Amino acid sequence: MIPGLEKAEFVRLGSIHLNTFIDSPRLLSESLQLKTHPNLFFAGQMTGVEGYMESTAIGLLSGINAHRYANGMPTLVPPSTTAMGALVDYITHSNAAPFQPMNINFGLFPPLSGKGRGRGKRLLLARRALREMEEWKRKCEPLDAPA
């Protein structure tokens, strides 16, 4: 029905998309360093995160940790109660076999102590994440701190 596509052949959606990623739970530490070669840092989609923001966040953390490592400073790992920390926790500790990439979602966050459902629960998770990220940021040394 569409001119020019009379002979087009459609395959199942997603069947030609290939994600290349490493087995992060086996290979990476929480600082995004290769366990066998700590001077190598991995970032972005190849670590097993899906999405532009997720890849950017992991890239930012990897870059900060590479800088800190190169300058003799301790590496940083955000709390698992935050989006970035939950992603790091997933890609470095997932028990899924075989390991598969993941977008951020509330299912990756540690559970709340109280009961909540739906939108209210997500709001509580988000508030906890913001509070704990602010607390974590205050504890982190500046990038240019001496070793």
pLDDT in tens, 98-109: 999 999 999 999
According to DSSP, residue 141 is labeled P
The pairing of beta strand 37-41 with beta strand 33-34: antiparallel
Q: Which CATH fold topology does 24-139 show? A: FAD/NAD(P)-binding domain (3.50.50)
pLDDT at 43: 97
pLDDT at 55: 96
Question: How far is Cα 51 from Cα 24, in angstroms, rounded to an integer?
Answer: 17
Per DSSP, helices labelled H in 71-113 are 83-93
Q: Which amino acid is at 46?
A: M
pLDDT at 15: 60
Cβ proximity of 124 and 95 under 8 Å = no
Read off the tokens for 69. 């490592």
Q: Looking at per-residue confidence, does 118 or 27 come out higher?
A: 27
Nearest to 108 by CA among 79, 129, 87, 126: 87
| Secondary structure of residue 131 in the 3-state scheme | helix
The model's pLDDT over 42-84, given as tens digits with 9 standing for 90+, comes to 999 999 999 999 999 999 999 999 999 999 999 999 999 999 9
| Residue 147 pLDDT > 60 | no
Question: What's the sign of the alpha-carbon dihedral 39, 44, 50, 56?
Answer: positive
